[in-house]
Chain A
Amino acid sequence: MAHDGRTTEGLRTRGLTKSFGGPPVVRDVDIDLRPAEVHAIVGENGAGKSTLLKLLAGVHQPDAGEVIVDGNAVAVTSPTVARSLGISLIFQEPTLFPDLTVAENIFMGRHPVTARLPMVRWRTMLSRAAALMESIGARIDPARPVGELSVAEQQLVEIATALSHRARFVLMDEPTASLTPREVDRLFAIIRDLKARGASVVFVNHRLEEVFAIADRITVMRDGAKVGTWAAGELSRDEVVKRMVGRELGRSPERPHVQPGEVALEVEDLTAPGRFRGVSLSVRRGEIVAMAGLVGAGRTEVARALFGIDSFERGTVKLNGQAVRFRSPREALRAGLAYLPEDRQHQGLIQALTVAQNMTLTILGELSRGGWLDRRREQELARRQVERLQVKTPSVNSAVQNLSGGNQQKVLVGKFLIARPKVLILDEPTRGVDVGAKAEIHRLIVDLAAQGMAVLVISSDLPEVLALADRVIVMRAGQVAGELSRDEATEESIMRLAVGTGPTAGGRKAL
């Protein structure tokens, strides 16, 4: 654990707190980063890890608390200030200039210029960039546009940028999320090298095997707060998982066992290189199957492929026993498969349109006669859904943007129910809705299944998964890591499969 506060070298935080309007995302966090160490931060989705890094890097400003560098309290008011303090953040998704060269990406805003006129010295810049890239063992032509590089190579450019700023605190947010095992090895070699040079590397990661491979100390976060910091040798993986999950382990059987009907959706060996591989699953009528896993495990990608938004390379999809391959969401909806996207603001609802207009969007063809919309039927159908789902709205003619998040989600559900699907895929159906609306949506999902619909729920909310699911499919790194029956499923068993500590079904060689 932390020293007595008299450490003068390194970076410490005291009582760091941040909220974005709602409950705090980072709560009263004290951490210390020492020179020449690799410090891993682990936690479930939404534990506040990324926000913590952004506070340190000046992307967000804390509501309370302070950052102390080398014993002095500092105000990290912008990324530029952070860099001048030696703090560099490397994002999960590289934030670079795709049109510009590697060299310029490294030196943007600090181009070497001639002494008399402020003219950029391209040759100097290119050779300095080449030297930096070489110092981390990357063989990338500094004159290449960054947009042509792979994500791994782009990450190396970000690391070179951090080095060029003489960063003493290199913060990496899930740096391995999109890397191949070989690229991960190379990244680790660079991290060890940074450490040998005296830098303090902070490493946010979900994959515990990687954390244990590289970290000197591990900080566990949960619900925005720090659970604790331990030397890596002090803890086993299982102990880390336990501390990540934290809540009372166990489950409350809210839902009676149901006798599912025939198979409605059957997927075999679905593969799209780089996104997911060899995914097989089935959902029966009347059954609720949950798809669990960490963000980036490929769950949404699978759903999008099934729904005809993205393509896949191989594999079979059967809907009610018939082999299908949808080329567009329209085809999928017609055949009886509906998908509720996670990002309802952008993908699901048209904010400026009314409740009725949104709900009937997918069945406009049925609703119109000779090209003219039957407004009365539109209103009637919408009113029926509003009643059934108990959407709180002044009328079906109110604009969706005026409704609360939970009610918007219900409108979205209504939009897909109106097309009477046989199979319903819901992607994070309760993210961002309040507790009351969440319970209602859960009840609705259970009702739908009871009426014979086959439901696949993608959720990162473990209590939700446990409350709803008849079966749980856990994905990790683009593959199905395992399947748990209702009785086997606990927060711990799911988490274990999701982060890869238990027996693996294929590991993460695929990506």
Chain B
Amino acid sequence: MRTGDPQAPGPSAETLVRAMAGTIPTRGRGAARFRDVGLLLAVVLLAAVTAVRSPHFATAANLQRIMLDISLLLIVATGQTMVVLTRNIDLSVGSVLGLSGIAVGFLLKDHPAMPVTGILLLGTGLGLILGAVNGALVAWGRVPAVIATLGTLTVYRGLVFIHSGGQQVNPQDIPLQLVAIARPGALGVPVMVVMAFVIAALGWLLLRYTRTGRAMYAIGSNPDAARMRGVQAGRIVFLTYLISGALAGLAGVLYAARFATVNPASAGVAFELQAVAATVIGGTSILGGRGGVPGTFLGALLLGTIANALAVSGVSGFWQRAIEGAIILAAVAVDSLIRQHSFKEGARRV
């Protein structure tokens, strides 16, 4: 992956990133902003190179495909960002997505006339319940987040198979009114894409402009200090899992709309890795306390573009996985370097 040329960050790109990140930086120092600019440049560069090399990339249909992929990822990664900011992680989102998709798919087989809003709310509600289980385990059961959500990842996937009996949901079972939200609507933009942007924007507002959102940063940055300041860490961590679960549940319905099939063995499988990758690549520290939705948006944009670029260039899906993994490792390493660098001055003085 290209992380951008140190010479290159032009004023226009920087202005754009600053506009997205808001005018007031939480920690807007050089290194972090450089990463944002680098990400954006990487996307632009990748798109340019692929467009030149493959005639299938810069077509309207393909760009729309990228947007739909990114939307799905962005919705789930927005929830993941909040969880990771509190120094936790939600590995169950892929299974939540799968379970929600299967559940509404089977429901639609019997009740094809259900209104779209109802379907979306059902999926979201199911995700909310599954997220509440995660939240209760982590916030009050004191189970380490990795273990708790790795466990529910497996349990929820098991439920997917039990509920579906191994059967997949077929295109004829998905009513057209649902499929329509993944098709170009007014102004040629699918409703699903609009939804993703609205959700990301709301997530950004929550994190930047509410006391609850700021408390998420506080918990991740220094849990002890947060407790001393009267931040109710348990409740807030629980809330992040609720949000993450609900958004993954919503994404399950959107998945059904987008692909019109839901296969219990593949829907949402390994999607948690993509969500965590988008979050971490976007600069949200895996140790919590810093980052945010704008970065995650860039991370999702990059991942979506890479996956698509590899696909249209005829690279196998297996390679995509390997490349994705390598990018996560690079992102975590960069984060750790930035952290060491920027805190050395202050913290090293005994």
Contacts and interface: CB of A to CB of B under 8 A. Distances in A.
Interface string A149-181: 111011000000000000000000000001000
Task: Say whether chain B's binding surface is mostly helix, strand, loop, or mixed.
Answer: helix
B350 A99 contact: no
B211 A96 contact: no
A79 interface: yes
A108 B27 CA distance: 16
B97 interface: no
A100 B217 contact: yes
A108 B285 CA distance: 20
Interface string A188-203: 0000000000000000
Interface in B195-246: 205, 208-211, 214-215, 217-218, 220-222, 224-231
B290 A99 contact: yes
Contacts of B221: 97-100
Contacts of B343: 98, 147-148
Contact of A79 (B214, B228, B348): B228
Contacts of B27: 99-101, 145
B345 interface: yes
B349 A145 contact: no
B218 A95 contact: no
Contact of A148 (B225, B228, B345): B345
Contacts of B290: 99
A104 B214 contact: yes
A379 to B, nearest CB: 35
Given A145-B27, A147-B347, A148-B342, A95 B225 contact: yes
B264 interface: no
Interface in B128-170: none
Interface size bucket, B side? 35 or more
Contacts of A153: 346
A153 B346 CA distance: 9
A29 interface: no
Interface string B262-294: 000000000000000000000001000110000
A154 B346 contact: yes
Interface string A112-150: 010000111011001000000000000000010111111
Nearest to A83: B230
Contacts of A108: 214-215, 218, 226, 229, 231
Given A99-B290, A108-B218, 4 more contacts: A96-B225, A99-B221, A120-B211, A153-B346
28 contacts: A80-B230, A83-B230, A95-B222, A95-B224, A95-B225, A97-B222, A98-B347, A99-B26, A99-B27, A99-B220, A99-B221, A100-B27, A100-B221, A100-B289, A104-B214, A104-B217, A109-B215, A109-B218, A109-B229, A109-B230, A109-B231, A118-B211, A148-B342, A148-B345, A151-B346, A151-B350, A153-B346, A275-B350
What 9 A-B pairs come out closest when comparing CB atoms? Answer: A80-B230, A99-B289, A97-B221, A99-B290, A95-B225, A99-B221, A147-B343, A145-B27, A119-B209
